[in-house]
Amino acid sequence: MTVKNEKILIVDDEPKLRKLVKDFLVKEGYDIDEAGDGQEALDKFLKNKEKYSLIILDVMMPKLDGWETLEAIREVSEVPIIMLTARGEESDEVKGFKAGANDYVQKPFSPRILIARINALLRRKHTEKEKDLVKGIIRVDEMAHQVFVDGKEVELSFKEFELLTYLMENDGIALTREKLLSGVWDYDYFGDSRTIDTHIKKLRAKLGDTAGEYIKTIWGMGYKFKVD
């Protein structure tokens, strides 16, 4: 369900992309403001930061790029920010989340996926959880987008973070690969189920020997999170 009566700032130096996103969001009931570069976005935001509920922020822009704009906004506000980028490197995702981004969408993207991300962030904003998700030696701070294993922070890509959170929220439940694809990659993803196996392998390696063993393989079906 869409969170209505919210104002969103779209920041991108491509007018056609801004119009495309704006048209879809207006149909969803959102009030939209636009900026063509990072400096214009920052000026608009600082003039009246309370009126914006969420920012869609491109990475590659003139004057101030997305990283610089994100850093400046985070000095004064915790407004939800979705980064748009043509890059697909995991290091960029980690950089964005460490700088304070809440989500990360690659171009080209489905407008429906972007809307789903926006709706999820705004719902989370209005029903913000104060408690961390803790299972065994793993602690997940969903609002800060951080994962700690035995007290030490572990850097995960966005999808690895979502996958781990989804598994932990379904503790003890056997999940098929199709269920994981639907729950983590959303309804518009048409990829191979082997994507799950690849991400699970990387996730286990990053969590380490003990925490990695919390993710159980259910042969011929999928995976289950369970603390022994």
Q: What is the average pLDDT across 63-85?
A: 89
Report the distance separating Cα 182 and Cα 168, nearest Å.
16
pLDDT in tens, 184-221: 876 445 556 678 899 999 999 999 999 999 999 999 89
Report the distance separating Cα 182 and Cα 170, nearest Å.
14
pLDDT for the residue 4: 53
Give me 165's structure tokens. 């959170």
Domain ranges of the chain: 7-126, 133-225
- Going by pLDDT thresholds of 50, 70 and 90, the confidence category of residue 50 is confident
Tell me which CATH code domain 7-126 carries: 3.40.50.2300
Report the distance separating Cα 223 and Cα 219, nearest Å.
8
pTM of this structure: 0.60
Q: What fold is seen in the domain 133-225?
A: Arc Repressor Mutant, subunit A (1.10.10)
pLDDT in tens, 110-162: 888 888 889 888 887 766 555 678 999 999 987 778 899 999 999 998 889 98
